[in-house]
Structure 1
């Protein structure tokens, strides 16, 4: 596992039905998409196309009184299993004989990271339009188009279930109209019971090493950092210290978001950073871009599903706010 993969949260992997109220505007539909997983039970199979790969996953999702639990199982490629709750994500990787545990931070949809409190500001940086009707996995769907108003962020094409608002298909689009990523259900059942047995890991933990990625209150970089320049709409969402799994190093993580796109900045002392797995210079994994460099005796990694110029702007403008 590379350093970039360790930094990226693992999540880059009911009986109640959402009220079928009239969603007259595109923003109404975005709110329905955001709220649907919080109140729905469903199980199905989806495909995720990214970075030249096509992964097929099985998902079991349950929502009870606002508490959400889901289990994802890979059907193609290396065996892996993910258990997600509102508090944490557990990723089982049998080929690495490892189980990674991390705290949930953004509480975002794995594909579409809506921050609902900031939806009113969304149209400053995105043009959002309702499209036509379609059918996805046998269900009537409403299409939405989210076009970036500048080239510092990507656009989206979305298809939401007409009845429940659940996201059935999503495409991440470059400013030239190239499809960068795609998520789509190929089989889906909404409603009904999701049993406890469907939500527990079926991968044996015997012989597996456990690694926990925690927020900590001290250690690591003592300086507070900030990006002096940000693309329009991007604001600081969180600033925490994290203990990386496996090697126990502590890094500072800043998260900037425009309510859809998110960029993470990881900062650690260059004295403790491991040269054999540090990100150096620009790199990319499909729609994900990253850049690593040494800055003022610290190693800095900036990473996000945004264009390269956004990564460069944030990386070039990082400054320490104070000295220890």
Structure 2
């Protein structure tokens, strides 16, 4: 199936520097194909996720019936956690003694970041290359790479799609030094499984559950009355802006990367300037007079530091 799709897409010729690789010109058709396959197939397997919060392994079951997805994700190591998704409704079950906020981050399932990319904007700022065939979870898979088309310092992204079904099997974020910064991958997968596997039949002892409800987004005051970004990497545009207490929150995106910028007044203890990387995410905090600026996003630390440093104040 993958070969038929690749044959359908228009591919440009190879350059001497990219022997064995082809660039996909119809990015939207390519993305629509594997996104639809990943959502509409029935499968179960073991999913390994590593990133800024450590490494966890999950057992996953995904079902598609009459236009609706149903999915269960049970963590196999660390604190007990099970995520149940039916359509857009998400419920989390936790083991006893868990201290988890209601708006905690959910594990990528399967690779949730990619399933919500703004593909029109991705096509504007990234080139998609078909690289080679590799094996993932014992199955032949085609490796694709998203490469930035401009000079901004952003990371590359790799996707491995199952050759038979086009289901996404593996995803990586690659640093400027070619190091793997984060990864999500199936280590085992079986297709055509409709009934819930027996591994999901048990229940947690004394568990509690909550409905996952992400914070609603509401655009409010204009932060530019106080401050604005003096520098932002090429391709990033402001997607969300809202007041939070006496501070501001902004989310910038180039279609692939989401960059959060938070500006809050310093209330009590004087915070310190910090800069670190957690997986693919840079976390930078800087003090500007009575304000603290915090940036979080999958961009290089030095890029995040420059954004925080070049904030323009009114």
TM-score range, shorter chain: 0.7 to 0.9
Q: Deviations over 1:50-109 (max 9, x none)?
A: 35943211122234455444332221233333344664655555475235434999x994
- Secondary structure at 2:124's aligned position in 1? helix
The alpha-carbon distance between structure 1 residues 181 and 213, as it changes in their structure 2 partners (threshold 3 A), is: closer
TM-score by length of 1: 0.71
Q: CA deviation digits over 1:269-293, x for unaligned, max 9?
A: 433xx859x7842122122111123
Q: Measure, in 2, the Cα distance between the counterparts of 1:160 and 1:279.
A: 43
Alignment partner of 1:117 is 2:103: no
Instruction: Give me the whole-angstrom Cα distance separating, in 1, the residues matched to 2:265 and 2:254.
Output: 28
Q: Distance in 1 between matches of 2:288 and 2:110?
A: 30
**Cα distance change, pair 142–283 in 1 and its aligned pair in 2 (3 A):** same
Residue 145 to residue 252, structure 1, CA distance change in 2 (3 Å) = same
CA deviations over 1:191-234 (Å, ceiling 9, x no partner): 3425599999944675779996533759xx95525423211111
Change (3 A) 1:208 1:183: closer
Shift of 1:131: 1.6
**Paired residues for 1:244-255 under 5 Å:** 252-255=248-251
Contact 2:217 2:240 in 1 (8 A): no
**Corresponding residue for 1:307?**
300
Partner residue, 2:176 = 175
Q: Distance in 1 between matches of 2:292 and 2:147?
A: 34
Q: Which has the larger radius of gyration?
A: 2
Give the Cα separation in 1 of the matches to 2:48 and 2:208.
Answer: 30
- Alpha-carbon distance between aligned partners in 2 of 1:69 and 1:275, rounded to the nearest angstrom: 46
Offset of residue 147 of structure 1:
3.0
Q: CA RMSD in A?
A: 4.1
- After superposition, the Cα gap between the structure-2 partners of 1:136 and 1:208, relative to the gap in structure 1 and judged at 3 Å, is closer
Contact 1:101 1:212 (C-alpha < 8 Å) held by counterparts: yes
The change in CA–CA distance for 1:208 and 1:68 in structure 2 (over 3 A counts) is closer
8 Å Cα contact 1:236/1:254 also seen in 2: yes
Q: TM-score, normalised by structure 2?
A: 0.73
Q: 2:279 maps to which residue?
A: 286
CA distance in 1 between counterparts of 2:168 and 2:212 reads 32
Q: 1:76-225 residue pairs with structure 2 within 5 A?
A: 76-84=77-85, 87=88, 89-94=90-95, 97-102=98-103, 109-112=111-114, 114-123=117-126, 127-149=127-149, 150=151, 152-193=153-194, 195=196, 202-203=203-204, 214-215=215-216, 223-225=222-224
Does residue 231 in structure 1 map to residue 227 in structure 2? no
Return the offset for 1:168: 0.7
- Following the alignment from structure 1 to structure 2, what is the Cα–Cα distance between the partners of residues 108 and 301? 29
**Unmatched segments (≥5 aa) in structure 1:** 1-17, 243-248
